[in-house]
Amino acid sequence: MKETILNHEHIKNSITKNDGKEDVKYRWSHGATDKHLGDGMLVYSMMYFFKPKMSVCLGSGGGFIPRIMWNCISDLTHEGFDTNDSRVILVDAVNGVNGHPDWTDEDSFYRTKFQSEWLHTTTEDAYYEYFIKRDMKIDMLWIDADHTYEGIKKDFDLYSQIMTEKGIIIIHDTDKNYVDNFVETEEHEDYDLSGPSEWLRRFTISSHYDDYEVLNLFNYGIEKDFPSSTGLTILRKK
């Protein structure tokens, strides 16, 4: 049996599929397949390296990224690191805006398997009514909720104010090449990818751009017969 650093059966059973059965919704947008984590591996690696205490996901159609985050915390615990204060919070209003989550039932595979917290509200309400009222700071932030330009801008403008000094922000779906070549299929559904790439274009020429370290991770469009992420932009305040 070939030795590998990855447990492909676990990936297939719990991360990219629900209990090894149906595919996790929207996994294709991460370039993930049954045994391939796609850009989820990048998120896992950053979690593993930086060991954030407070990780927050704004939107996650199938719960793919919160699974990755919680799995990393579980792995770090197993390896002897102190993760007692580590939390994963998912903010999702489940209002049909850019995604239709399939994990909302209490007995869903996602909610019974992973111990991430769920704030059933909009990202704006969560910001003011939960994070601000509790004076909370975020170490790792995933932005993947309202995919309009206005929605992405609002989420970034709000939550960037409550990041820790070394906090990392990751914005999904920013690859304009993927947007331009996007072909809607039954699997892909109606998926608006234009807002994040437009936000990135405007941010790049804004006065705030020089305040951040910025790394764009693109596959440069849809690649034939190979998983292709819709793009990540990683930001950290200088």
Question: Whose CA is closest to 140, among 214, 66, 48, 53?
Answer: 53
Q: What is the mean pLDDT of the chain?
A: 88
Residue with structure tokens 């947007």?
179
| pLDDT for the residue numbered 110 | 76
Rg over CA atoms, the chain:
17
Q: Rounded to an integer, what distance in angstroms lies between the CA atom of residue 24 and that of residue 122?
A: 22
Element (H, E) at 91: strand 87-91
Positions of the chain with pLDDT under 70: 1-2, 96-105, 111, 183-192, 220-227
Task: For 133-168, write each residue's pLDDT tens digit.
Answer: 999 999 999 999 999 999 999 999 999 999 999 999
- List Cβ neighbours of 217 (8 Å cut-off, separation of 6 or more): 39, 42, 229, 231, 232, 233, 234
Within its chain, how far is the Cα of 109 from the centroid? 18
| pLDDT for the residue numbered 228 | 79
Structure tokens at 82: 């102190």
Instruction: Give the phi and the psi of residue 151 in degrees, each rounded to 5.
Output: -70, -45
| pLDDT for the residue numbered 221 | 62
Structure tokens at 174: 């920013």
- Domains along the sequence of the chain with CATH: 8-237 (3.40.50.150)
Regarding pTM above 0.75, the answer is yes
Nearest 5°: CA angle at 72, between 228 and 142? Answer: 55
| pLDDT for the residue numbered 3 | 72
